[in-house]
Structure 1
Amino acid sequence: MNEVWVIDDDPFAAKLTQKQFAACLPDSLVSAHTDPLDSSRRLAKDRGRNIELVVLDLRMPTMDGITFVRHLADISYRGKVIFCSGQNDQMLSAAQQIAENQGLYVLGSLAKPASLEAVNALLKRGRRKAPRPTATVSRDDIVQAISRGEFVNHYQPKVALSDGRFHSVEVLARWAKGTKTLGPAAFVPVAEQEGLIESLTHGVIDRAFADLALWSRQGLTPQLSINFSTAGLNDLNLPEQLLGYCERAGIEPENITLELTESKILDPASRGLDILSRLRLQGFNLSIDDFGTGYSSLSQLRQIPFNELKIDRSFVTGVSERSSLQAIVNSSVRLATELDMTIVAEGVESKADWDYVANAGCHLAQGFYIAKPMPGQAIPVWAELWREKTQG
């Protein structure tokens, strides 16, 4: 039987948390531990191999939660971690970042005392979250995968918060590598470093436009959002190439959004600014993705003619429960509204998330509450089911 350890030096709090997790994980053995020093020593004996989850308080006099995290990293603990503490949101976020920086698999954090509903909601979100891929790939692996046609597109819908209308899809590259399907984190950094990102991106565009043509014949005309790497913005002919794609497919550039990750800084003296400006002049939409996760948000907004802002999922998921996330979402919405930008909330994973970002003034929503990424052939089926659900 899988074990769950609740570590909290307050016996009452430890027992209460134990009961909440036991109710949500009936197939696991949930135990409470009030001595973090002893718990750390016991975990070290077998490197925590039998422990699937550690629920950890932060403020414990004999060994604080940050130190305990370091001990978990030292023994290469491969289970999951949840922080459950009375500390404020900023401290919980800091603890989570520290743990993730040391390679631990953090499901999230809970304010103490955690309700049964909050525990259950976090565990549900955690079941959807996979650890970062550990497999390494080489340039030759990617070149061969391109030649064998192993890269495929998945699509995640975005819908209007005002009426639930199906609005667009974000195109997400996947690598069908044998029996596994790998996400972009497994191959995009290598492709950027090895000069293969342009080839990958053009493959994504080819497949996306073919799928869009197929959906159009089935009566669906969603807009397309395509991720672009700043590392691939080197070809000054790119605006003309994309315009050619649109003309051949009979698609207006206004129906295409190019998403650029905000955390990747674009040198204002590079060709990228030239290319993006001409793309915007031709009617393509430009979106600043993962807004708030980098150090150059305001600088990017000033330099590049973005007309869409995507609030990063780390600020949206669970926003109804945490005041610090609410402050970030509200300030992002105010800024984007002043700049007359379309506002997308990504990471909407519950009705509560939906209600909050809708009331905050976001225009579009994306996340598991709406739909997971799916192959192109599944989009028409999903669209019909979504229409029935939202419009009757």
Structure 2
Amino acid sequence: MLSDTPVTPPKMAATAMTDKPDEALRILVVDDSLSIRQFLEEILKRIGVREVLTAEDGNAAIRRLDQSQEAIDLVFCNLMMPGMDGVELLREVGRRCPGVAVLTISSLDARLRLSVSEMARRMGMTVLGVLGKPFTEADIRKALAGFHDARQKGVKPCSAPMTDAEIDSALNNKQVVVHYQPKVRVDSAHVVGVEALVRLRDPQRGLVSPDAFIELTEAGGHIENLTYQVIDIALRETGVWAREGLRLNIGINLSSSAIHRLDLPEHVQSVAHNHGLSPSQVTLEITESELANATELLDVCARFRMRGFGLSIDDYGTGESGLSRLSSLPFTELKIDRQYVDGASESDELRAILSTSIDLGKRLGMTVVAEGVQQVADWELLESLGCDVAQGFLISRPLPGDKIMKWALRWQRLTDEGTNNG
């Protein structure tokens, strides 16, 4: 830190800078306890949630889902219920609403809760965590903040995806939009970079998050077009910030098909050069699940590193990469998935996984980045464990490119004030 008796800058900066999330949500609450259903409904409506549906058991919840005419954004689900229990219900929810966010309500053993969460994730759902009993309004607000942070990374409501024609139109008409989530040093809170996150602008739907188009874009053969447009936009805007005095590292996710293009390193180098960026300012992010094709990746990854670009293992912990793959590929950064970061300060199991992941990354000479940081206690844990960089709702939601400069200047001012006050 910057002082002998430091204060954690995000305690001040995050409170002052976090935009109020859009809480116009449709939430389904499933619990056999009437008092808990009423308590949750009261809190959610007081917060400003648009519509709260309730169900007393799994069967009633399924009927609610089948009868609903609009997308369900988030499901609160008790695991221990008579009849259809919460695990069975999650299985049915996953079939009907792939990708929907869920928050389990349980006081069960922590390892059992983690097993259920892993099952739900493997079915395509996004698990925001566990709501222990008893819980408070602050716990609910934290859960909603986590939902909004996760949605920016691709959580999808139970709704219809974009059509192939809509995607084709958006790509042909240059309606690709890139937002950026800031990344800051854990030890000093200084802004060091951003991650580029893609959206599409649709005339009817407005700004569409990737959950509604990525899979179809890949299936329809448009993913390379999308990836190349994102690269050009992200590097161009990073170049603008650099010329205005804000030098940041830009992280860009590479699709499964794009990373096998043998000419990709030359293309990215050319675009970076055209926008006045050095390769050291650019990090290409590859999800851990892609490491299964390590043989095909070696060529592209090696030539990216030879040119000075950074390489990041994204969403570490969600795939099945072996240590041999991690050691044989020239990665410079390891990004720990949010499911192992959010709430780690309150869970011995998550803390153990997080600590081991950070230690592994450091031993392999990588910069370690924690995703999904949402609370000060988790930030402080990351600091104690020696994590290098953090990103998440505590710091900032993803922002349009034209807001990054203003955000960075304000964050740095608040960080400096917090350090001086410490």
Identify the TM-score tier after normalising by the shorter chain. 0.7 to 0.9
Moved more, 371-380 or 116-125: 116-125
User: Conserved in 1, the CA contact under 8 Å of 2:149 and 2:397?
Assistant: no
| CA distance in structure 1 between the aligned counterparts of 2:96 and 2:166, rounded to whole angstroms | 32
1:92 aligns with 2:105: no
* Runs of at least 5 residues in structure 2 that lack an aligned partner in the other structure: 1-25, 418-422
Query: What residue is the counterpart of 2:211 in the other structure?
Result: 185
Q: CA deviation at 1:180?
A: 2.0
Q: How big is the shift at 1:380?
A: 0.8
Instruction: Give the 3 Å change call, closer, same or farther, for CA 302–114 of structure 1 in structure 2.
Output: same
Specify whether residues 281 and 353 from structure 1 end up closer, same or farther in structure 2 by C-alpha distance, changes over 3 A only.
same
Of 325, 340, 349 in structure 2, the residue corresponding to residue 300 of structure 1 is 325
Contact 2:327–2:364 (CA under 8 A) maintained in structure 1: no
Residue 273 (str. 1) matches residue 273 (str. 2): no
CA displacement at 1:30 relative to structure 2: 9.5
What pairs with 1:235-250 in structure 2 (closer than 5 Å)?
Answer: 235-250=261-276
Verify: 1:338 aligned to 2:372, yes or no: no
Distance 1:169 1:123, change over 3 A: closer
Which residue is equivalent to 2:133? 112
Say if 2:13 is the partner of 1:7. Answer: no
Please say if residues 168 and 225 of structure 1, whose CA atoms lie closer than 8 Å, have aligned partners that are also in contact. yes
Conserved? CA contact 1:110–1:118, under 8 Å: yes
1:262 aligns with 2:283: no
Question: What's the CA shift string for 1:74-112, capped at 9, x where partnerless?
Answer: 998999754221212332233345556668786542233
Q: Describe the SS at the equivalent of 2:395.
A: coil
**Aligned partners of 1:54, 1:146: CA distance in 2, in Å?**
33
Query: Quick check: 1:20–1:115 contact (8 Å CA) kept in 2?
Result: no
SS at match of 1:135: coil
Unaligned runs of 5+ in 1: none
CA distance 1:280–1:125, change in 2 (3 Å): same
Whole-angstrom distance in 2 between the partners of 1:232 and 1:307? 20
Q: Distance in 1 between matches of 2:122 and 2:401?
A: 35
Question: C-alpha separation between the residues in 2 aligned to 1:358 and 1:92?
Answer: 26
Residue 362 (1) aligns with residue 387 (2): yes
Residue 169 of structure 2, aligned match among 112, 137, 144: 144
What residue is the counterpart of 1:198 in the other structure? 224
After superposition, the C-alpha distances for 1:303-333 in whole angstroms (9 at most, x for unaligned) are 3110100001121122222222211111101
Matched with 2:336 is 311
Of residues 54-63 and 152-161 in structure 1, the stretch that sits farther from structure 2 once superposed is 54-63
Q: CA deviation at 1:160?
A: 0.7
Distance of 1:239 and 1:79 partners within structure 2: 35
Aligned CA distance change for structure 1 residues 61 and 142 (closer, same or farther; 3 Å): closer
Q: With CA pairs under 8 Å and 6+ residues apart, which has the higher RCO, 1 or 2? A: 2
Question: Is residue 289 of structure 1 aligned with residue 314 of structure 2?
Answer: yes
Match of 1:230 in 2: 256
Q: How does 1:38-77 map to 2 (within 5 A)?
A: 40=59, 44=63, 55-60=76-81, 63-69=84-90
Q: Distance in 1 between matches of 2:109 and 2:321?
A: 26
- Does residue 1:210 correspond to 2:231, yes or no? no
The yes-or-no answer on 1:252 pairing with 2:273 is no
Q: Distance in 1 between matches of 2:275 and 2:27?
A: 55
Bigger mean CA offset, 51-60 vs 163-172 = 51-60
CA displacement, residues 276-304 of structure 1 (integer Å, 9 cap, x when unaligned):
11111221111000001011253431331
Normalising to structure 1: TM-score of the pair?
0.83
SS in 1 for 2:351: helix
Aligned to 2:403: 378
CA contact under 8 A between 2:166 and 2:202: conserved in structure 1?
no
Distance in 2 of aligned mates of 1:276 and 1:282: 10
Deviates more, 1:244-253 or 1:175-184: 244-253
Q: Following superposition of structure 1 onto structure 2, how do residues 157-172 of structure 1 map, counting pairs within 5 Å?
A: 157-172=182-197
Bigger drift between 362-371 and 120-129 goes to 120-129
Q: Is the 8 A contact 1:230 1:266 kept in 2?
A: no
CA distance in 1, matches of 2:101, 2:316: 27
TM-score by length of 2: 0.78
Residue 113 and residue 180 in structure 1: after superposition, are their counterparts in 2 closer, same or farther (change >3 A)?
same
Separation (CA, whole Å) in 1 of partners of 2:401 and 2:119: 38
Q: Which residue of 1 aligns with 2:351?
A: 326
| Superposed displacement of residue 140, structure 1 | 4.6
- From 179, 183, 207, the counterpart of 1:154: 179
Residue 126, structure 1, aligned to residue 150, structure 2: no
**2:345–2:378 contact (8 Å) kept in structure 1:** yes
Paired with 1:257 and 1:307, the residues of 2 have a C-alpha distance of 9
**Secondary structure in 1 matching 2:230:** helix
Amino acid at match of 1:58: L
Distance 1:137 1:64, change over 3 A: closer
- Between the aligned partners of 2:272 and 2:190, the Cα distance in structure 1 is 24
Relative to structure 1, is the Cα distance of residues 345 and 103 closer, same or farther in structure 2, using a 3 angstrom cutoff? closer
Structure 1, residues 162-207: CA drift from partner, whole Å, max 9, x if none?
1111101111121011242122233333333333322222211221
Distance 1:31 1:235 in 2: 47
